[in-house]
Amino acid sequence: MHLRAGGKQMDPLPNPAPLASKLRNTLLRYHSIGAGEWRAAKKTKDATVWRKPSEEFSGYLYKAQGVVEDVVNRIVDHIRPGPYRLDWDSLMTSMDIMETFEENCCVMRYTTAGQLWNIIAPREFVDFSYTTSYEDGLLTCGISLDYGEVRPNFVRGFNHPCGWFCVPLKDSPGHSLLTGYIQTELRGMLPQSAVDTAMSSTLTNFYSDLKKALKT
């Protein structure tokens, strides 16, 4: 039995196979949402970000998309849990693999830096992560779990179903289209406007940081 601080029982780790299947189906559904349902949130030279009200919580589901100059496997290896992510993602401050079910499926705990002059304090997340094939490319996706004790000085955030689709661009060898769906519940007492500003910037910065890392 896993216990939270204070002796309250904590959720056990889920059976990975049905969770992975449900997560993949949810991301495929997001990927089929028509363009008319999205509202533009931010555009940079690296990526465009849209948003729509989330079905999971009172915030937004964000969609980000941009072309990345590299092959699918290398891009996804930089995004999913593993040795690369912590080196280049400027928001992430630590990452530990807590459980590994198989090569493409694990539970990880990671922490993020404070944002907006620390209006948003450092956050901690525990996520189930799953990587699978999608068309000619890959999908790496995740969802938060209520698992493990919260570290001191962090607020435990929650990622509702999120993921990244990466497929090769047929007309541009060596380039891939990377599309992400993110809906992070930061929790804590935060003005929604601060959360929205942070999320759009976080996603465009993600693309620029990733592109720099892939060039090194």
**What's 173's domain CATH number?**
3.30.530.20
Q: Rounded to the nearest 10 degrees, how much is the dihedral formed by the CA atoms of 105, 164, 93, 175?
A: 120
Residue 8: pLDDT above 80? no
Question: For the chain, how many structural domains are there in total?
Answer: 1
Mean pLDDT of the chain: 90
| Alpha helices (H) along the chain | 16-31, 72-79, 85-88, 192-215
Q: What's the pLDDT tens digit per position in 56-111?
A: 999 999 999 999 999 999 999 999 998 899 999 988 999 999 999 988 999 999 99
Mean pLDDT of 192-213: 90
Question: pTM of the full predicted structure?
Answer: 0.90
Six-digit token pair at 85? 């992510």
Residue 43: pLDDT above 70? yes
Q: Residue 120, by phi and psi: left (phi above 0), alpha (psi -120 to 50) or beta?
A: beta
Residue 9: pLDDT above 70? no
Whether 114 is covered by a domain: the verdict is: yes
Range of the domain at 122: 16-215
Q: What is the pLDDT of residue 194?
A: 78
Closest by alpha carbon to 166, among 184, 147, 180? 180
- Is there a contact between 112 and 122 (Cβ–Cβ < 8 Å)? yes
Q: What's the pLDDT tens digit per position in 29-41?
A: 999 999 999 999 9
How deeply is 66 buried, as exposed, middle or buried, from its count of CB atoms within 10 A (0-12, 13-18, 19+)? buried
What confidence tier does 120 reach under pLDDT thresholds 50, 70, 90?
confident
What confidence tier does 152 reach under pLDDT thresholds 50, 70, 90?
confident
Whether 39 is covered by a domain: the verdict is: yes
- Is there a contact between 111 and 150 (Cβ–Cβ < 8 Å)? no
Q: What is the pLDDT of residue 190?
A: 74
Residue 152 is given by DSSP the state T
Rg (CA), the chain: 17
Closest by alpha carbon to 174, among 46, 77, 83, 75? 75
Whether 150 is covered by a domain: the verdict is: yes
Residue 3: pLDDT above 60? no
Round to whole Å and give the CA distance between 132 and 147. 23
Residue 1: pLDDT above 60? no
- Residue with structure tokens 């698992």? 147
What confidence tier does 15 reach under pLDDT thresholds 50, 70, 90?
confident
Q: What is the pLDDT of residue 11?
A: 66
Q: What is the pLDDT of residue 148?
A: 85
